[in-house]
Structure 1
Amino acid sequence: MNILITGGTGFVGSHLTKELTAKDHHVYILTRSPDKHNDTERVSHIGYDDQEISNLPPIQGVVNLAGDSLFGYWTRKKKETLLSSRINTTQKLIDMIQKMDRKPDVFISGSAVGFYGTSEDLIYTERTTEPGKDFLAKVAVDWEKAASQAEQMGIRTIYTRFGVILGNEGALPYMKLPVKLFAGGKIGNGQQWLSWVHIYDVVQLIQFCLFNDHISGPVNVTAPHPKRNKDFTKILADALNRPYWLPTPAPLIRTIIGEMSMLITKGQFVLPKKVLDSNYQFTYPNLRAALEETERTKA
């Protein structure tokens, strides 16, 4: 299969590319700077210009993972970039697909559990259609709306709503830092839910969506057992052989990092009902095993 990926050199994209090429698929990574990357037998880096796009072979699958990192102080400019980087890349992909004589069979576009908003007591599944009202929910809603143009072209379209991805990149190194510095403890009241997923299962779930024709629409890419912040941090401290004792007041977090603090002080309980109903078997359904694995495989 020929698969086109945006964000192919990022955290999730690089893991996905490695897995796909190991299974003899050819990956075409769409990037603004193709000359900065080395092609291999099964990986080609291409730019956004029409000439390179016209030279592509028929593409069976598209995976859209591009978007500016959520980490950083959310100034007005940063928030504009968070939104525009996702919408603009998705629109460019849609424009490319419209020009293809043969349309892809499947279009997978990134999204996030932020779609649902935050709650300490509600349970969200793919059947939840009412989005949240905060900034992250708006980003997810607009991102999915842009991607839905593929669906209108008759392409099987999937919106992968990622939870907090655990691996040696992404959010986990930041979450580990206070624990490693012997300052680990709950954030605020510790009751906020964290819907997490191991990077290995993320890659397997994307492939599950790619190759299972009955999967479409929103798909929650989260492990089946979310944890409250207080429990997540306790298990993390145990995995790192560090104490769990120093709670951090939520107002202090908000003072230090501003609106981005909602990633830490708020959360949502999200279940991956669609893939569970489709008999996907998680390799890391439990948090302790997932964290221990990231420690074993860190560079």
Structure 2
Amino acid sequence: MNILITGGTGLIGSAFIESATDCQFTVLTRSTAGAKSTLPSSVTCIESLSALPHLNEFDAVINLAGEPIVDKRWSEEQKNIICQSRWEITQQLVDLFAKSATPPSVFLSGSAIGVYGNRGDESLTEKSSVSERDFPTRLCIRWESIARQAEPYTRVVLLRTGIVLAKQGGALAKMLLPFKLCLGGPIGSGQQYMAWIHYRDHIAAMHFLLKDKGISGPVNLVAPNAEKNKEFTQTLAKSLRRIAIFPMPRFVLHALLGESSSLLLDSQKVVPQTLLNRGFSFEFNKLKSALIDLLN
């Protein structure tokens, strides 16, 4: 399979490329030199989609590009950077699908469970309603809407990704040091749900979605069992043989992070109903087994 991938040097993109030894990849990257130093030598790197007149030679497109959403405070300027880094590339890909005489058969395009907003204890499946409530919902709804413009030309799958657990990067890597120092603890009330997924299950699900022609539209990429923040922090601490007794009050987190603190305080009890209905088998259903695998 010949695949065009944006965001191929990120945590998920690079892990997917490494896992797909039978595929050929073209990666869109801001630095071809940097990408070539980390990706397999067989990967072709391009710095602009304008280098492609169409997508005829590709079997699939995977769109994972985007400015990190948690690295900086959400000033209006930073919000615009976050949005445009997702919306513009997605629109460029849609335009290339329209220009293709034989377009790729599938388009996996990134999104996030932030599309649901803060929903408390409500179980959220792909059929749950979404509406613009705040910045993350506005970002994701528009992102998905642009990607769906490719539906006349290809099968579009929207990857509503939860918290990806991996030792080599992402949220877990940032949490390890304070928890190892016994400085971790519940955030806010600790009652908000965190929908997570082991990165290997995320990669396996992407392979599954590429092959299953019966799946289109939004797909929740999360493990079947979301955990409340309090249970998540306790399980992480026990996996590290540490204690987690230092809570992070809501007002302190908001003072530190501003509006972006919602990413840690909002509750999203997301269920991967589409994957379960189609027979996808998770390697890691429970948080404890996922953390044991990653940390030991």
TM superposition score normalised by structure 1: 0.93
1:294 is displaced (CA, Å) by 1.6
CA deviation digits over 1:54-110, x for unaligned, max 9?
Answer: 497611100000000012211111111111110011111112222222101000100
Contact 1:119 1:192 in 2 (8 A): no
Give the aligned partner of residue 9 of structure 1: 9
Instruction: Name 1:27's counterpart in structure 2.
Output: 25
The SS at the match of 1:9 is coil
Does the CA contact (< 8 Å) of 2:29 and 2:35 recur in 1?
Answer: no
Which whole-Å CA distance do the structure 2 matches of 1:6 and 1:90 have between them? 9
Within-5 A mapping of 1:1-299: 1-20=1-20, 22=21, 24-38=22-36, 40=40, 42-48=42-48, 50=50, 52-54=51-53, 58-71=57-70, 72-151=72-151, 153-168=152-167, 169-296=169-296
Q: Distance in 1 between matches of 2:54 and 2:153?
A: 23
Q: Give, in whole Å, the separation in 1 of the partners of 2:55 and 2:110.
A: 23
Letter matched to residue 5 of structure 1: I
Please give the alpha-carbon distance, in whole angstroms, between the structure 2 residues aligned to 1:161 and 1:31: 22
8 Å Cα contact 2:117-2:137 kept in structure 1: yes
- Give the number of aligned pairs: 292
In structure 1, distance between residues paired with 2:231 and 2:55? 48
CA distance in 2, matches of 1:126, 1:227: 19
**Which runs of 5 or more structure 1 residues have no equivalent in the other structure?**
none
For the residues of structure 1 that align with 2:132 and 2:15, how far apart are their CA atoms? 30
Aligned CA distance change for structure 1 residues 150 and 167 (closer, same or farther; 3 Å): same
Q: 1:36–1:175: structure 2 CA closer, same or farther, 3 Å change rule?
A: closer
Distance apart, 1:8 and its partner CA: 0.4
Question: CA distance change for structure 1 residues 59 and 220 in 2, over 3 Å: closer, same or farther?
Answer: same
Cα deviation digits, residues 26-57 of structure 1 (max 9, x gap): 0111123334433756411123254x424976
Change (3 A) 1:37 1:177: closer
| C-alpha contact 1:224 1:271 (8 A) present in aligned 2 | yes
Distance 1:63 1:288 in 2: 30
Measure how far apart 1:181 and its partner are: 2.1
Distance 2:294 2:255 in 1: 31
Aligned residues: CA RMSD: 1.6
Amino acid at match of 1:7: G
**Offset of residue 275 of structure 1:** 0.5
The one-letter code matched in structure 2 to 1:70 is I
Percent identity over the alignment is 37
Contact 2:160 2:218 in 1 (8 A): yes
